[in-house]
Amino acid sequence: MNKQLLIVGNWKMHLTVHQSSLLVHRLQQHIKTHRDIEVVLAPSMLVLQPISVELDKRRFKLCAQDAYFKDEGGYTGEVSFAMLGDLVQYAIIGHSSRRLFFGETLDTVRDKVQASIRNDIMPIICVGETQQERDAHETRQVLHDQVTTALMNVTSKDIEKIVIAYEPLWAISAFNKNVTAKPEDAQKAISFIRQQVSELYGDRAAKHMRILYGGSVNEHDARSYLELPEVDGVLVGAASLNYLQFTGIVDAAHQIQTERKS
């Protein structure tokens, strides 16, 4: 099965509207259309609307970095998935920044996954262990708990819309500069996640699910993750803010797809 590779750029809390517009302009100049690759941009909430007008929607999709699980109400400062429905195709849910800095719990992630599906937005659920959990050999337990809770109320029909990103916290630039996971670590964890999905929804669903790797991926090492048989794409943070680096990652994905076809 030759799935589309999914390349997601998480701009985090970077770039003003103007800077974002410049980056989009550059990306549109440099990234070609590849039918076997889906390129998704996750700018700040403020930027989604202005960027949506400039974006070539045949080449790029938009993604929210988070949203609140209630559709509407007196929740000052929040934006709901319902409000984002017309703007984005994807939403990152349970990013480690949210879990660590904003106290997001397993249950909150589960509720956000439901809200996302309810509003026709495809969730990209982030899971991954901390350095401490890794040292204590708790990676599997953490992944098991995060995956099973996030998918708790997801039906067999809706499982097709779910993307999971394995992002070990110890390899994310915000927590640990210059540390990356070895491809075999990424492969092992992603294989374990797929096994969890298979136990819950069967082999077919598990095979079809797109599972990404994220953690300081750049244009030089993207290939080493993307060529792993179980990795269906990458979630890119810091390197997605630089059009040359991000383009390099998309090019690496295209090269792999071309080689797979030949």
Asked whether position 238 contacts ligand PEP by CB under 6 A, the answer is yes
Asked whether position 245 contacts ligand PEP by CB under 6 A, the answer is no
HEC per residue, 97-159: HHHHHCCCCHHHHHHHHHHHHHCCCEEEEEECCCHHHHHCCCHHHHHHHHHHHHCCCCCCCHH
CB atoms within 10 A of CB 106: 15
Least distance from ligand PEP to the Cβ atom of residue 17, Å: 21
How far is Cα 162 from Cα 17, in angstroms, rounded to an integer? 29
Asked whether position 172 contacts ligand PEP by CB under 6 A, the answer is yes
Options 206, 236, 249, 256; binder of ligand PEP; rule CB under 6 A: 236
Asked whether position 173 contacts ligand PEP by CB under 6 A, the answer is yes
Asked whether position 124 contacts ligand PEP by CB under 6 A, the answer is no
How far is Cα 54 from Cα 51, in angstroms, rounded to an integer? 5
How far is Cα 209 from Cα 164, in angstroms, rounded to an integer? 8
Which CB sits closer to ligand PEP, 93 or 206? 93
Number of residues that bind ligand PEP (CB under 6 A): 13
Torsion of CA 44, 46, 49, 52, to 10 degrees: -30
Asked whether position 216 contacts ligand PEP by CB under 6 A, the answer is yes
Asked whether position 167 contacts ligand PEP by CB under 6 A, the answer is yes
Least distance from ligand PEP to the Cβ atom of residue 142, Å: 17
Among this protein's residues, is 95 annotated catalytic? yes
Angstrom distances, CA of residue 51 to CA of 21, 32, 43, 169: 6, 18, 9, 29
Which CB sits closer to ligand PEP, 214 or 248? 214
Among this protein's residues, is 78 annotated catalytic? no
Find the residue with minimal CB distance to ligand PEP.
237
Asked whether position 43 contacts ligand PEP by CB under 6 A, the answer is no
Q: Which of 95, 129, 230, 254 is catalytic?
A: 95
Q: Which residues pair with 41 in a beta bridge?
A: 9, 62
Asked whether position 215 contacts ligand PEP by CB under 6 A, the answer is yes
Residue closest to 181 by CA, chosen among 206, 212, 157, 136: 212
Asked whether position 133 contacts ligand PEP by CB under 6 A, the answer is no
Residues that bind ligand PEP (CB under 6 A): 10, 167, 172-174, 214-217, 235-238
Q: Give the active site residues.
A: 95, 167
